Amino acid sequence: MQNTAAQLNNEDWSVRLGVIKALQGRADLTEEMLQGIIAQLDDGFIHRAAAKALRSWAHFSEEMLQNIAARLENKDWSVRRAAIEALQGHVDLPEELQQRIAARLEDKVVYVRMAAMEGLMNRARLPLDALSPYIKPFYEALRRKSFTEHLFWHPSDSGFIRAGLRHISLSSRQ
């Protein structure tokens, strides 16, 4: 498997794509292999496959989270979207990182805004403190989403959003 992962540095994007697909879903990936996949988020040909492979990974080290988070500010909108998608499967995102995703609700590109909304809606808990600077674009995104999916928002200090079968707790530090 090390030989396969080493091919993440291959010059041919189709080889790197094949490696990512081969590694996707494996539970025995090392941090070095995951960092190699994270590096592929910058490649316009295969960043979506890299994001999909990373989305299936539930826990990242702090360094890996920072490497992905750095791409939230990339000038290429498709890299920003891929970074958000890569974080969707992560169980416990720090509040600061959730706020950085919420900031993408104000992105100029609709695809990035949509990915940010999905990234936030896939959380079990959303901190209101992280959302509060972006509550207007969050509300607008929820309103748009309500045309395609049943939503119920109970706003309060211990509120929640129900989206389909998902229950998202809203919490605040008191």
What's the token pair of residue 44? Answer: 């316009």
Only one residue has tokens 């929640």, namely 160
- pLDDT over 70, % of the chain: 95
Residue 152 has pLDDT above 60, yes or no: yes
Mean pLDDT, range 16-34, rounded to an integer: 89
Question: According to the model, what pLDDT value does residue 162 have?
Answer: 80
- pLDDT over 90, % of the chain: 45
159: helix, strand or coil? coil
Backbone torsions φ then ψ of 33, nearest 5 degrees: -65, -45
CB of 107 closer than 8 Å to CB of 150: no
In this predicted model, which residue has the larger pLDDT, 158 or 145?
A: 145
Angstrom distances, CA of residue 116 to CA of 16, 22, 42: 26, 27, 18
Instruction: Quickly state the pLDDT bin for 102 (edges 50, 70, 90).
Output: very high
Single pTM value for the model:
0.86
Q: What confidence tens digit (pLDDT) does each residue in 103-141 have? A: 999 999 999 999 999 898 888 888 888 888 998 998 888
Residue 84 CB neighbour total at 10 angstroms = 27
Residue 1 has pLDDT above 60, yes or no: yes
Residues paired with residue 134 on neighbouring β-strands, in sequence order? none
